[in-house]
A and B are shown apart, each in its own frame.
Chain A
Amino acid sequence: MEIFLQLIYSGIALGMIYAVIAFGYQLTFATSDTLNFGQGEALMLGALVGLTLVDRLGVNYWLALPLVGVFGLAQGALVERIGVSPAIKIKSEFGWIMSTIALGIIFKNVAENVWGRDDLRFPSPLPEAPIKLFGANVLPMELLVIAGAVLMMLSVEFFNRKTIYGKAVVATFNDRDAAKLMGINTGLVITFSYALSSLTASFAGVLIAPLTLTGATMGAVLGLKAFAVAIIGGLTSGMGIIVGGIILGVAETTTGFYISTGYKDVPGLVLLLCVLAIKPAGLFGKSAIKKV
């Protein structure tokens, strides 16, 4: 039982790492139907900028968080202006895919030149000794990631439902042309959503960096797993991201223990295929009827 509990804990912690990254995919999809495939790289940049602030400049970890957030905002806006908005303007269906991937690669190369190629250690702001919780161990940092993920979900839901800006975002998603006619600057809304998405990504980067390792290549695998989480949970639901993350994380750890560590990635990806086949909008997603 203790073993099972430990697996569940680790699975949830792992799932939450995926979930905080997956939020970023959701935010841009919510306005423009596009995804930033450089999400993993935004995460990596956030983590590395955070590392520079904390390690080199001696900024307090908690103080570094908002600074990294500002950096993320700027980075996301840049991606949208350079890569996505030209594609949207000419109504290109796929242009943004290539340009966000390309920008991601550029960011990775820049990071390799600025921060070097090795994986670096991010000093943990919380004690590194594990806490015993109902008979199984959990790291304080993992609890922080979980708290961060839940907080992000709540604030995104709150933003979309309760604020006037959030309503503009929802309106832009529902019908871009109608929203435009109603006086919403949809271009700005989309730019803003990219900025926000990179903000969450870089925030996530600083949050998870003490648990994973920090380096120019950290974004690739995590970004991909997070994408799977976003698809499983549904690209339109904050709740779905959390549940999707937990499902994928727990599936990985339990399969690793009970079946074989060689196959631990398989069940999550099989689930992804099933979701795509049965409920393409995701477990919690609303399926939108696309009028052509």
Chain B
Amino acid sequence: MNRRIHLSVLASLMLATGLAFAADPIKLGVSGPFTGGSSSMGVSMRDGVRLATEEINKSGGVLGRKLQLIERDDEAKNERGVQIAQELINKEQVIATLGFINTGVALASQRFYQEAKIPVMNNVATGSIVTQQFKAPEFPDNYIFRNAAHDSIQAPMIVEEAITRRGFKKVAILADSTNYGQLGREDLERALGSKNVKAVAVEKFNIKDVDMTAQLLKAKEAGAEVILTYAIGPELAQIANGMTKLGWKVPMIGSWTLSMANFIDNAGPGGEGARMPQTFIQESNTVKRKAFIDAYLKTFKPKNNRIDSPVSAAQGYDSVYLLAAAIKQAGSTDGVKIREALENLQTKVEGVVTIYDKPFTKDDHEAITANIPIFGEVKGSRVVYAYEEDQKKGADLRLKDAKKAPAKK
């Protein structure tokens, strides 16, 4: 009798642990630079992800399970990214990973997720080839998705703004020596080529360079009327400061990183007027956006009520909802099923950037198309709409234009 009681206790214990196992949290990896020069993007992205996760967990989680974030600082270093990828896959056994700010880190790390059949949702890295790394036909299935405006969207936008809209004839390109800068430079040169314009100067510099005199003088000597940039905040600020020093001021138009807080703060007056493509501007022009911005400011209390990188925060936030919708639809945490669900999302996901209606297909893993980003401008140390008509239409969400997809390389 005694023994039987023992057995039944044991059995019920086992049952209990079994149940507990079923209610285990769903682990999502988050990989991004939370320290160093690109940390304003990494931290904003992470905070956006945290905000969305918290909201989802408050309303009961996904499949009756809570979402749990496993956050790792990749320090914008490729080798750290690779280590983290292996840790998240093998040790933490995440079911998907969000993040990657730096194109180089994304390219180095994604291979492991692709092999393990675990979906990756890039929510900031913009290098054109990020989602093309494991394209058909060499790879039957691609596990890499993206919710960010990639460089083959941004570069033509920058060129369109400089050449067509503002009528500059002579342009100089300044890009840093990282994967991000150099891939972006190629995209810019290609976009200029399609308008039959050749840059009068193409210069590069290293991360942490403190003097941009040589680069700027070359652009100035070549008669550049505008500087197109592909770099990150601190060095962009050195370019703006260098122009102040040389007493030479031409407009800066560049990739979306010109909206980084560490560019705006460090460049000061020299950074005013810089323009860049943005998928999101910190302005409460829809109910959803207002709720997001208010919650963000309340939870993370950024300086001067300015989100350090609003684009990263918004894309990070939306990417969690996209993933959650896919997990719900898949009814499972199996990587293959989540990928299939992402490629054929039945529900519309209302995000802060846009409303995602079938954001991905089997051949198109880009949620953002060329019609979604608009131009932002640095004004009074904040990023605002560069064009009044964009601001007026700010509340009209621009949906994905499926005709333009899939993105050409």
Contact = CB atoms under 8 A, between A and B. Distances in A.
Interface string A1-27: 001001100100110010000000000
A213 interface: yes
Contact of B245 (A112, A137, A262): A137
Given A112-B35, A118-B261, A139 B245 contact: yes
A10 B213 contact: yes
B210 A118 contact: no
A212 interface: yes
A217 to B, nearest CB: 6
B213 A121 contact: no
Contact of B262 (A119, A252, A262): A119
Query: Looking at chain A, what size class is its interface with the partner chain?
Result: 35 or more
A120 B214 contact: no
B38 to A, nearest CB: 10
B64 interface: no
Given A14-B210, A262-B177, A117 B35 contact: yes
A211 interface: yes
A17 B210 contact: yes
Interface string B315-356: 000000000000000000000000000000000000000000
A256 B213 CA distance: 9
Given A117-B35, A117-B39, A213 B234 contact: yes
A130 interface: yes
A67 interface: no
Contacts of A279: none
Given A118-B40, A264-B214, A128 B237 contact: no
Interface in A190-216: 211-213, 215-216
A101 to B, nearest CB: 18
B211 interface: yes
B54 to A, nearest CB: 23
A74 interface: no
Interface stretch (B85-93, B201-209, B273-281, B391-399): B201-209
B247 interface: yes
Contacts, number: 93
A231 to B, nearest CB: 20
A261 interface: yes
Interface in A165-224: 211-213, 215-218, 220-222
A205 B221 CA distance: 33
Q: Is the interface of B mostly helix, strand, loop or mixed?
A: helix
Interface string B233-247: 110011000001111
Interface centre among B217, B221, B237 (most CB of A within 10 A): B217
25 contacts: A3-B221, A6-B213, A7-B217, A10-B211, A10-B214, A17-B210, A117-B35, A118-B261, A119-B266, A211-B210, A213-B234, A213-B237, A213-B238, A213-B266, A217-B36, A217-B208, A253-B214, A256-B213, A256-B215, A257-B217, A261-B204, A261-B214, A262-B177, A262-B204, A265-B206
Interface of B: 34-37, 39-40, 43, 177, 203-206, 208, 210-211, 213-215, 217-218, 221, 233-234, 237-238, 244-247, 261-262, 265-266, 268, 308
Given A119-B234, A119-B262, A222-B210, 12 more contacts: A6-B213, A7-B217, A10-B214, A14-B210, A121-B268, A137-B246, A137-B247, A218-B208, A220-B208, A221-B208, A254-B214, A261-B205
Interface of A: 3, 6-7, 10, 13-14, 17, 112, 117-121, 128-130, 132, 137-139, 211-213, 215-218, 220-222, 252-257, 261-262, 264-265
In the A-B complex, list the 8 residue pairs whose CB atoms are closest, starting with the nearest.
Answer: A256-B214, A10-B213, A117-B35, A257-B214, A221-B208, A212-B210, A119-B234, A117-B39
